[in-house]
Amino acid sequence: MGVSVRDPNTLSNYAAWLTKHTTANLTIDFDEHALKGRVDYRILSRTQKESNEIILDSSFVSVKSVSVGGSPAQWELKERHKAFGSPLHISVPEGAAEGDELDLSIELQTTKECTALQWLTPAQTSNKKHPYMFSQCQAIHARSLFPCQDTPDVKSTYTFNITSPLPVVASGVLESETIGENGTTYVFEQKVPIPSYLFALASGDIATAKIGSRSKIATGPEELEGAKWELEQDMDKFMEVAEKVVFPYKWGEYNVLVLPPSFPYGGMENPVYTFATPTIISGDRQNIDVIAHELAHSWSGNLVTSCSWEHFWLNEGWTVYLERRIGAAIHGEPERDFSAIIGWKALEDSITHFGADHEYTKLIPTLKGVDPDDAFSTVPYEKGFHFLYYLEKLVGRDNFDKFIPHYFTKFSGKSLDSFEFKETFISFFDSLGDEEIKKKVAEIDWEGRFYNPGLPPKPDFDTSYVDQCYSLAEKWKDSSYSPSKSDVESFSANQKLVFLESIQKFDPPISSERAKLLGDAYDLLSSQNVELKAAYYHIAMGAKDTSSYEGVSDLLGRVGRMKFVRPLFRGLNKVDRELALKTFEKNKDFYHPICRGMVEKDLGLE
C-alpha cells in the first residue's frame, strides 16, 4: 500500500496498521480521579511486511493487559519520550496479510499524570454540590487516556460506553442510558470517523435545554437559563449560513457544553458537543462568535482534517474564514473585515511574542521532536485566514464560493496536507477555463506563503466599523481629554475592544491616573465581559497603575481560558513578579494541566 507517515508527533506505526473502530468501555471514578475499563479496537493491516507488531501512542496510562483476537498478547511500554510519551509495542507473531482486520483489547486505567483530564472538586464548581470531570485531547493528549494512534492522520468511528454516577456528555450521539449498580451507563455513537484528538468526555452536574432545531445547551443547572438566552437567538442562523456556504451539516446534532471556568480554551470543536468557555456567557450576546467558530469546525477540522499539527492552518485558517463569513451574513459585510482587524492585532501579538523570524510564525512550521502545544498560537488561525482571504480576493468571491464545496467534498472524511490543498486549488481553477484567473493562480507565491516567517502582506481592510474606535483613541492622546460614558454608548463590545487595543499601543503608554480614569469612565472594571476586562488590565499594567494589580490577580483566580491567563500572567510578571508567582501558586490547581504547564513555561518555572 506504501502509506507514508506524515505526522512527526506520533510514535505509532500507523503506516502498517490503521484503527477503523474504537469502543471505549470506561467507568468514571471520581474518588480515585481515574477512568477505568477496557478499550477495544478494530485494526486493519495496511502492509504484510511490517505487520508483526502494533505500536500505539501512550502517555502515563496504566496498562493492565492486552489481547489480540481474544488471546493474551505480549506487550511492552518502551522508554518515555519527553514530548510523545511511552509507545506501547504489541506483538502479533503471526503477522497479517494486507487488508486483514484484527480485534485488539486493552484493559487500562488513567493515572494522576494524565494530561487530558481535569478533575474538579465540588468546591471548584459553581454550585459547589458535585465533582466534575472533563477531557481536552487536542493536540496529543488522547494518548494519556488510552493507547491509540494519536495523530490527526488517522480517523476512526467510535462507540462510547461510559458509566458514571453523574450525567455524561461525549463527542457522539446519545443512543441509550441504563441505570446500574455503579451509576448510569451512557452509550454514544460517533458514526463519522474522527481523529483521536476529538475524543471527548465530560461528567458532572449537567442540565440541558433546547437552543435551536438541532441544538441543545448543556451546563450547570444554575447557569442554564443565562446560557440558553445567550445562544438561542443565533444558533439556527449560524447553522443556516454555514450550510449555505459549504454543504449540509453531517453530524446529526450540534450541541454546546459550557464548562466550568478552568476550561483552557475559548471552545473545543468536539463533534456533536462543542466544549465552550463560560467567558462567552457575558450577558450581552457579544462573545458568541466563538460558537460560530466551533460550528464551522464541523466542516473544517472535523470533517476535513489536517494530517499533522504542522498543517494545522488547514483546520484553523479555514475555520476562521468560515466563522467570518457567518458573521458577515448575519451582521453585514463590514463585520468580516472588522473581525479580521481584531485578528490582525492578535497575529501581531503572537509574532512579537515568538520573534518575527521564529519557526512557529510560519504557516507550515517544522514540529519534529516538538510538543505541538509549545507552538500553539494565533498564527495558524490568522495567518491561515489571511492566506484564504488573499486567495478569495485573487480569484473573486463568486469563484471562491464554487471552490469551497468542491474542496470540502473532495476531502470529506479524510486528512490532508498543504500540498494537496495547493494541488486541488490549482487544478480547480485550471478546470474553470478562465485564462485570466489561471494566470493569477500561476503567480501565487506558494513557497513564500507556506514558509516565510513573520507577518504576511497586510490587506486593505474595510475600516468603516473601526474608524470610530480609532477616532476615540486619537482623542485620548491628548492628556486633557475629558471622557464621558456617551463616548462608547453606540459601540459593540468588539468596537470597545479595538479602541482599548489602540490605547494599549500608545508609546509612551498613558499615565496611571489616565488609566484609572479610562476604567472608571467606561465602566470597564464592572463589566462581565472578560475580553474587555482583560484588555483594560493590559493598559493598566502598561501604565504601571499599581492599584490594578490585585484586580489582575483576582481575575486570574476566576478564569482558566489560556487566551486571557497566559498574557495576563506575562504582563503581571513584568510589573510585579512576586504577585505573579503568588497568584500562580494560589490558583495552579484551578488551572487545567495544559494551561498550568504553559504558564509555568511563561513564568520560567519549568
Residue 303, domain member (yes or no): no
Residue 265 annotated in ligand binding: yes
Peptide bond connecting 122 to the previous residue in cis, omega within 30 degrees of 0: no
Confidence band (pLDDT; 50, 70, 90) for 589?
Answer: confident
Residue 247 has a pLDDT of: 98
Residue 101 dihedral angles phi and psi, to the nearest 5°: -120, 145
Q: Contact, 162 vs 95, CB < 8 A?
A: no
Q: What is the mean pLDDT of residues 220-230?
A: 96
Residue 538 has a pLDDT of: 98
**Shared domain check, 494 and 526:** yes
Residue 70 annotated in ligand binding: no
Residue 85 annotated in ligand binding: no
- Whole-prediction pTM: 0.92
Nearest to 530, CA basis, from 502, 493, 505, 483: 493
pLDDT at residue 430 above 80?
yes
User: If DSSP states are collapsed to H, E and C, what string results for 177-194?
Assistant: EEEECCEEEEEEEEEEEE
Residue 123 has a pLDDT of: 77
Domain termination site, one of 278, 298, 318: 298
Round to whole Å and give the CA distance between 162 and 172: 12
Give the domain CATH number at 397. Answer: 1.10.390.10
**Shared domain check, 435 and 322:** yes
**Shared domain check, 594 and 571:** yes
Residue 522 has a pLDDT of: 97
pLDDT at residue 142 above 80?
yes
Q: What is the mean pLDDT of residues 536-553?
A: 97
Active site annotation includes 294: yes
Residue 580 has a pLDDT of: 98
Q: What is the mean pLDDT of residues 344-367?
A: 96
Residue 264 annotated in ligand binding: yes
Domain termination site, one of 166, 194, 222: 194
**Shared domain check, 548 and 475:** yes
Residue 293 annotated in ligand binding: yes
pLDDT at residue 127 above 90?
no
Confidence band (pLDDT; 50, 70, 90) for 489?
Answer: very high
Round to whole Å and give the CA distance between 35 and 161: 12
Percent of the chain predicted with pLDDT > 90: 92
Q: Catalytic residue, from 132, 223, 254, 294: name it.
A: 294
- pLDDT tens digit string along 498-519? 999 999 999 999 999 999 999 9
Nearest to 315, CA basis, from 334, 291, 296: 296
Residue 284 has a pLDDT of: 87
**Shared domain check, 122 and 15:** yes
**Shared domain check, 178 and 37:** yes
- pLDDT tens digit string along 273-297? 999 999 999 888 988 989 999 999 9
Residue 189 has a pLDDT of: 98
Active site annotation includes 348: no
* Residue 36 DSSP SS3: strand
Residue 265, domain member (yes or no): yes
Residue 138 annotated in ligand binding: yes
Residue 268, domain member (yes or no): yes
What's the mean per-residue pLDDT of the chain? 96
Structural domain count of the chain: 4
pLDDT at residue 49 above 80?
yes
Q: Contact, 354 vs 337, CB < 8 A?
A: no
User: If DSSP states are collapsed to H, E and C, what string results for 310-339?
Assistant: HHCHHHHHHHHHHHHHHHHHHHCCHHHHHH
Domain termination site, one of 418, 451, 484: 451
Confidence band (pLDDT; 50, 70, 90) for 1?
Answer: very low
pLDDT at residue 2 above 60?
no
Domain carrying residue 214: 206-298
- pLDDT tens digit string along 13-22? 999 999 999 9
Residue 167 annotated in ligand binding: no
DSSP string, 451-477: H--SPPPPP----TTTHHHHHHHHHHT
**Shared domain check, 319 and 275:** no
Round to whole Å and give the CA distance between 494 and 497: 5
**Any residues with CB less than 8 A from the CB of 553 and at least 6 apart, and which?**
572, 579, 582, 583
Residue 235 annotated in ligand binding: no
Q: Which of 14-28, 333-347, 584-598 has the highest mean pLDDT?
A: 14-28
Q: Buried b / exposed e across 393-405, counting CB within 10 Å, b at 16+?
A: eebeeebbeebbe
**Any residues with CB less than 8 A from the CB of 197 and at least 6 apart, and which?**
137, 138, 139, 140, 141, 142, 150, 152
Residue 513 has a pLDDT of: 97
**Shared domain check, 108 and 179:** yes
Residue 461 has a pLDDT of: 93
pLDDT at residue 120 above 80?
yes
**Shared domain check, 179 and 224:** no
Residue 199, domain member (yes or no): no
Q: Catalytic residue, from 41, 381, 389, 465: name it.
A: 381
| Terminal-to-terminal C-alpha distance of the chain | 43
243 Cα distance to chain centroid: 21
Sign of CA dihedral 441, 446, 448, 450: positive
pLDDT at residue 4 above 80?
no
